[in-house]
Each structure stands twice: as C-alpha cells, then as structure tokens.
Amino acid sequence: MTGKPQAMYSNSLFGRTVFRCTLCGGLIIEDGSRLGPRTMIHTANHIIDNVDAGIDGQGWIKKPVHIERDVGVTMGVIILPGVRIGKGSLIGAGSVVTKDIPPYSIAVGNPCKVIKSRK
C-alpha cells in the first residue's frame, strides 16, 4: 500500500498485542482510550469497481478511524474503516465495529450494536 501513514495517539493505553493495520487512511485515538489485546483497525477499503481487474491492483479508498476520549476497546475487536467511536463508550470482546457508535454506549457483537447507554 502506498501513502504516508498517519496516526495520532495521545494519552492512551495499548494492549500487548494490538495489531494496527493500514494506517494510511488516518487514525486518531484521543486521551484516555484503551485498546485491548488483538484489536485490529483498518483505515482503508479495497477499491473493487472493475470486475475485469484483480482486486489487488485497484488501490484503496482511505477512510479514517476516530476513537474519541476514554473509550474502552476490549479484547479481539475489529474496527472497520471510517468508523467513529464516541467518547466514554465500551466495545465488547470480539466485536466487529462497522458503523459509528454514539458516546457513552456499551456496544457488542458482529455487527457491533449498542445494547446499553452508560448515561
């Protein structure tokens, strides 16, 4: 993949085996957020418009990921390109986050859905 990796982290904590991939789309992790072990974050999607060409040669669409402050991403979570996780949210183990999560949510599953609000 081409493109300069862009990532911005502040006062956040990363598990011992966090895998961060395809940073070229841009990644922001705000203060106090935590990424558990085996978290994966992608910030770009494959372009697949041309069915006569190989997927691999068509490039990527950049889609930044934004994790607001004080978010708890627990273990084994996958965060897909373009997602924003609102401040104070907790993402359950093994979740696949495909869409934005509102602030102060407890969200779980694949696809990740809000099951409770902390407020």
Residues in touch with ligand COA (CB under 6 A): 15, 36, 74-75, 90, 92-95, 106, 108-109, 115-116
Q: Closest approach of Cβ 93 to ligand COA, in Å?
A: 4
Nearest residue to 38 via CA among 15, 71, 12, 11 = 15
DSSP letter string, 30-94: -TT-EE-TT-EE--EEE----TTS-GGGS-EEE--EEE-TT-EE-TT-EE-TT-EE-TT-EE-TT
Specify whether 66 is catalytic.
no
Smaller CB separation from ligand COA, 85 or 108 = 108
Q: Closest approach of Cβ 105 to ligand COA, in Å?
A: 10
Q: Closest approach of Cβ 39 to ligand COA, in Å?
A: 9
d(CA 22, CA 108): 24
The catalytic position among 1, 8, 11, 46 is 46
The residues annotated with a catalytic role in the active site are 46
